[in-house]
Amino acid sequence: MSGELGLNESELHAFIDGALDAARAHAFEVKLAADPALAARVAAFRADKEMLKRVYAPLIARPIPEKWLALAHGSKPPARAALSWRMVGSIAAAILLLVAGVAAYRSVRPPQSGEIVQAALDARTHAMPSKIIAIEMGADAQRYDAALSKAVASPVKVPDLGRLGYRLAAIRLYSGTQNGGAAELLYRDSKERLFTLYVRRSNGAARFDQFERNGLRVCVWQDEELSTVMAGNVSTAAMQRLASLAYTGLTL
């Protein structure tokens, strides 16, 4: 698709980052408007980029440890310990192996579900809400921002998942849960398949997990203020895009 425009992968990502010159960016926008598959691909890359920013934002904000700064400013490697390119390559290979090993371990270790996941799945299948908000056909999701913010005691917005084919169908509110109130947002696609977003105040621990549970794809996304659990009968890639759009929609 990008090849038809004469764009390679580097230019594709340069467009997403806003780094293309005006002429190339305009040509790409024209192609994007006429090619839904390419538009979906760009949207997926943007969602992935936003998700990574959200996941690693807490780490970026942390100050560099004083011990690291002292080591950086106070020590110089002796000349005899200078790294050759061969040594650099060996170190890089070792790092890649370590990263691959960590990824493999994460893929096979049992997911740490926690109480929040069970609460979300129970709400999805055995809902006993204190209040249900029916969504009017064609209503703007932002109309329900105040009710959601009040339920979870945090300034949040109702995410619009229309770009990925899901419409808001209902909002269930729960009181007396752990960490205060909670809300469950129910979305359905054109085939009436259910996707749920469970939201409540966080216990303060950052967390990001994606795994399968009870035949559903589940994503847990938690920062210092909000805990969110998303669940649906979707693929891993679809969940990644839905989770990114839902989480950013809540907080932006």
Is the confidence at residue 8, as pLDDT, over 90?
A: no
- What size, in residues, is the chain? 252
DSSP code per residue over 36-53:
HHHHHHHHHHHHHHHHHH
Q: Please, are residues 179 and 205 in contact by the beta-carbon 8 Å criterion? A: no
The pLDDT, as a whole number, for residue 31 is 81
* pLDDT tens digits, one per residue of 197-251: 999 998 888 888 899 998 999 999 988 889 999 999 999 889 989 998 998 899 8
Position 17 scores a pLDDT of 78
| Joined tokens for residue 127 | 């809902």
Whether 202 contacts 179, CB under 8 Å? yes
CA–CA separation, 22 vs 20, rounded Å?
6
Q: How far is CA 152 from the centre of its chain?
A: 20
Region of residue 204 (left: phi > 0; alpha: psi -120 to 50; beta: else): left
Q: Is 7 exposed, middle or buried (0-12, 13-18, 19+ CB in 10 A)?
A: buried
Dihedrals phi, psi of 178, to nearest 5 degrees: -60, 140
Closest by CA position to 12, among listed 65, 22, 23, 25: 25
Range list of β-strands (E), the chain: 131-134, 167-177, 180-188, 194-201, 207-213, 216-222, 226-232
Positions of CATH 3.30.200.100 in the chain: 114-251
pLDDT at 193 over 70: yes
CB–CB of 144/135 below 8 Å? yes
- Dig out the tokens for 252 from the structure: 């932006």
- pLDDT value at residue 131: 92
Q: Which CATH number is 114-251's, of 3.30.200.100, 3.40.50.880, 3.50.50.60, 3.40.50.2300? A: 3.30.200.100
128-175 pLDDT tens trace: 888 999 888 877 778 899 999 999 999 999 999 999 999 999 999 998
Mean of the per-residue pLDDT values of the chain: 77
Torsion angles phi and psi, residue 129, rounded to 5: -75, 160
Residue holding tokens 């005691």? Answer: 153
C-alpha span between 198 and 244 (Å, rounded): 14
Query: How confident is the model over 34-91, as pLDDT tens digits?
Result: 776 777 677 767 766 666 666 556 556 666 666 666 666 665 555 554 445 444 444 5
CB crowding 88-99: b at 16 or more within 10 Å, else e: eeeeeeeeeeee
